[in-house]
A and B are shown apart, each in its own frame.
Chain A
Amino acid sequence: MTDTLDNWETICSVDTLVDGTGVCALHNGEQVAIFKVRGELYALSNYDPFGKANVLSRGLIGSEQDTIYIASPLYKQRFSLSTGACLDDPETTIQQYQVRAHQDKVQLKV
Chain B
Amino acid sequence: MTPEKIIVVGNGMVGHKYIETLINHPQYQNYQIITFSEEPRLAYDRVQLSGYFDGKTVDDLMLTSSDYYDANGVQYIVSDKVVAIDKAEQTVTTESGRVESYDKLVLATGSFPFVPPIEGGDGEHCLVYRTIEDLEAITASAEQSKTGVVIGGGLLGLECAKALHSLNLDSHVVEFAPRLMAVQLDDTGGQLLRKKIEDLGVHVHTEKATQSISAGEHCRYRMNFADGSHLETDMIVYSAGIRPQDQLARDFELAIGERGGIVIDDHCLTSDDNIYAIGECALWQGRIFGLVAPGYNMAKVAVDHLTGGDSSFTGADMSTKLKLMGVDVASIGDAHAQTEGALTYSYIDDAQGIYKKLVVSAEQDKLLGAVLVGDTDNYGTLLPMMLEGMDLPEQPQSLILPAIDGQEGGALGINALPDSAQVCSCHDVTKGDLIAAIHDGATELGELKSCTKAGTGCGGCSAMVEQVLKAELENMGMEVNNNLCQHFEYSRQELFDIIRAKKIKTFDELLAKYGSGHGCIICKPAVGSILATYWNEYVLSDDHIALQDTNDIFLGNMQKDGTYSVVPRIAGGEITPEGLITLGQVGKKYDLYTKITGGQRIDFFGAQLHELPMIWQELTDAGFETGHAYGKSLRTVKSCVGSTWCRYGMLDSVSMAINLEMRYKGLRAPHKVKMGVSGCTRECAEAQSKDFGIIATDKGWNLYVCGNGGMKPRHADLFAIDLDDQTLIKYIDRIIMFYCRTAERLTRTATWMNNLEGGLDYLKSVIIDDKLNICDELEADMEKVIDTYECEWKATLNNPERLKRFSHFINSDATDDNLAYVSERGQNRARIATDTERQKAAKGEEIATLAVTN
Question: Which of A's residues lie within 8 Å of B, judged by CB?
Answer: 1, 11-12, 16, 18-21, 23-27, 29-31, 34, 37-38, 51-55, 58-65, 68, 71, 73-74, 76, 78
Contact = CB atoms under 8 A, between A and B. Distances in A.
Given A58-B553, A58-B554, A62-B524, A53 B561 contact: yes
Interface in B152-206: none
Contacts of B810: 11-12, 16, 23-25, 34
Given A11-B810, A25-B811, A60-B521, A52 B550 contact: no
A65 B487 CA distance: 9
Interface of B: 486-487, 517-522, 524-525, 542, 545-550, 553-554, 558, 560-562, 804-805, 808-812, 814, 816, 818, 832-833, 842
Contacts of B518: 37-38, 61-63, 68
Contacts of A25: 809-812
Nearest to A68: B518
Contacts, number: 96
Given A58-B553, A74-B550, A18 B804 contact: no
B833 A52 contact: yes
Nearest to B553: A58
A32 B842 CA distance: 14
Given A20-B547, A53-B818, A65-B517, 13 more contacts: A20-B546, A21-B553, A51-B562, A54-B808, A55-B562, A58-B558, A60-B549, A62-B522, A63-B520, A64-B486, A68-B518, A73-B549, A73-B553
Contacts of A59: 550
Contacts of B519: 62-63
A13 B812 CA distance: 14
A68 to B, nearest CB: 6
Contact of A26 (B550, B805, B809, B818): B809
Contact of B562 (A18, A54, A60, A62): A54
A34 B517 CA distance: 21
Given A24-B810, A62-B524, A16 B550 contact: no
A51 B562 CA distance: 9
Given A26-B812, A68-B518, A21 B558 contact: no
Nearest to B485: A62
Contacts of B812: 25-26
A54 B818 contact: yes
Contacts of B547: 20
Nearest to B812: A26
Contacts of B550: 58-60, 73-74
B811 A21 contact: no
Query: Which of B521, B549, B832: most chain A Cβ within 10 A?
Result: B521
Given A26-B809, A58-B554, A74 B560 contact: yes
A55 B558 contact: yes
27 contacts: A1-B811, A12-B810, A18-B545, A19-B546, A20-B545, A21-B553, A24-B808, A24-B809, A25-B811, A26-B812, A26-B814, A30-B842, A31-B809, A31-B816, A53-B818, A54-B816, A58-B558, A59-B550, A60-B546, A62-B519, A63-B517, A63-B520, A64-B486, A65-B486, A65-B517, A73-B550, A78-B521
A7 B476 CA distance: 60
Contact of A23 (B524, B545, B548, B805): B805
Contacts of B548: 60
Chain A interface, >50% SS class:
strand
Contacts of A58: 550, 553-554, 558, 562
A21 B833 CA distance: 27
Contact of B546 (A18, A63, A73, A78): A18
Contacts of B811: 1, 11-12, 25-27
A73 B805 CA distance: 16
A1 B812 CA distance: 10
Given A19-B546, A21-B546, A52-B833, A62 B520 contact: yes
A53 B545 contact: no
A98 B486 CA distance: 30
Nearest to B487: A63
A59 B708 CA distance: 29
Nearest to B808: A24
A35 to B, nearest CB: 10
A59 B545 CA distance: 11
Nearest to B609: A58
B558 A60 contact: no
A24 B522 CA distance: 24
A66 to B, nearest CB: 8
Contacts of A19: 546
A18 B542 contact: yes
A54 B805 CA distance: 15
Query: Which of A20, A29, A30, A31: most chain B Cβ within 10 A?
Result: A20
A74 B563 CA distance: 11
A84 B381 CA distance: 56
The 4 tightest CB contacts between A and B, nearest first, are A20-B546, A62-B520, A63-B518, A73-B550
Query: Which of A19, A38, A51, A62: most chain B Cβ within 10 A?
Result: A62
A69 B798 CA distance: 32
B525 A60 contact: yes
A1 B562 CA distance: 27
Contacts of B542: 18
A19 B562 CA distance: 22
A61 B562 contact: no
Nearest to A56: B562
Given A11-B811, A12-B811, A61 B560 contact: no
Contacts of A12: 810-811
Contacts of B549: 60, 73
Nearest to A64: B520
A16 B522 CA distance: 26
A47 to B, nearest CB: 8
A24 B813 CA distance: 12
A37 B553 CA distance: 17
A64 B487 CA distance: 9
Contact of A29 (B517, B554, B842): B842
A16 B525 CA distance: 23
B613 to A, nearest CB: 15
A53 B522 CA distance: 23
Nearest to A55: B562
Contacts of A65: 486, 517
Query: Which of A12, A59, A64: most chain B Cβ within 10 A?
Result: A64
Nearest to A52: B832
Contacts of A20: 545-547
Contacts of A68: 518
B558 A74 contact: yes
Nearest to A17: B810
Nearest to B563: A53
A16 B545 CA distance: 14
